[in-house]
Structure 1
Amino acid sequence: MILDIDCVEHPELLEQPVGACRSAGRFWKTNNLNKWADVGDFDGVCDLVNLGRKTAAVDDANGYADRLAIYERARRVLIWG
């Protein structure tokens, strides 16, 4: 069941885990981020999330280096955990 929740009228809902996850999931789906994630284009996903468009440059999205380090650590844990 999909619920339409007015986050403009009730932004505090985004502070709760359920609201935050639903918002992130909707953003991911609306922006078709699986297209980039499925081919392993980490930079492309970061560009779309942070810049709103795919750029030719690599690592130009805000906070890219930190995000990449966290991503690589999570992959190691999940793959070899």
Structure 2
Amino acid sequence: MANSVYARPAEGNVAPGDGWRYRGRGMLQLTFRNNYRAAGARLGIDLVAHPELAADPAVSLHIALDFWTRAGVNACCDAGDYFGARGLTNCGSRTPKVAPIGLADVAARRARLLGVLA
């Protein structure tokens, strides 16, 4: 199923099996060969040859932090723009055309965590 759903040549998935090979992995679900290649290049890890490394907790954290920094997610959080932050991490846009998946869940978890910290 992943091979069909993620068979997107524009995203670098061009070989048979690429959909499954470069499926979403890690804390922020790194997906597609082009994104594995780019993240791996920035982190000095060959994620194209070893895509399973994106599921390793330590590597996944580095990938997530790299994305968080590059996408400017923290600026959204600092401004209280949690819709924008979730849009960046879930839709790739601060102003997505559709509501980000899990927005209500993220808001509820944030409220609960702030209650613990208060």
Q: Say yes or no: does 1:36 pair with 2:76.
A: yes
**In the TM superposition, what are the counterparts of 1:3-18 in structure 2 within 5 Å?**
3-18=43-58
Is 2:96 aligned against 1:66? Answer: no
Moved more, 48-57 or 23-32: 48-57
**Distance in 2 of aligned mates of 1:43 and 1:55:** 8
State the secondary structure of the residue aligned to 1:30: helix
SS in structure 2 at match of 1:40:
coil
**Greater Rg, structure 1 or structure 2?**
2
CA distance in 1, matches of 2:108, 2:51: 30
Letter in structure 1 aligned against 2:48: V
Q: 1:56 to 1:14 in 2, by over 3 A?
A: closer
Between the two proteins, what is the percent identity of the paired residues? 35
Q: Which runs of 4+ in 1 moved over 4 A?
A: none
Unaligned runs of 5+ in 1: none
Quick one: structure 1 residues 75 and 9, their matched pair in 2 at CA, closer, same or farther if it must change by over 3 Å?
Answer: farther
TM-score, length basis structure 1: 0.78
Q: Which runs of 5+ in 2 are unaligned?
A: 1-41
Q: Which amino acid aligns with 2:115?
A: R
Report the counterpart of residue 75 of structure 1 in structure 2: 114
